[in-house]
Structure 1
Amino acid sequence: VAKDMDVPLRLHYFDPKGRHIKTYQVPSLQQIEGIWTEMEVLMHNLEDDHRTILKTLTIDYNTGLDDATFSVRNLETW
Structure 2
Amino acid sequence: MRVYDFKCDDCAMPFEAFLRSIDESHACPQCGSLRSTLRPTLQISINTSGTRRGRVIDMSSNSCPGCANRSHGHHH
Which TM-score bucket, shorter chain as reference?
under 0.3
Which has the larger share of helix? Answer: 1
TM-score (norm 2): 0.23
**Who wins on radius of gyration, i.e. which is larger?**
2
Which has the larger share of strand? Answer: 1
TM-score (norm 1): 0.23
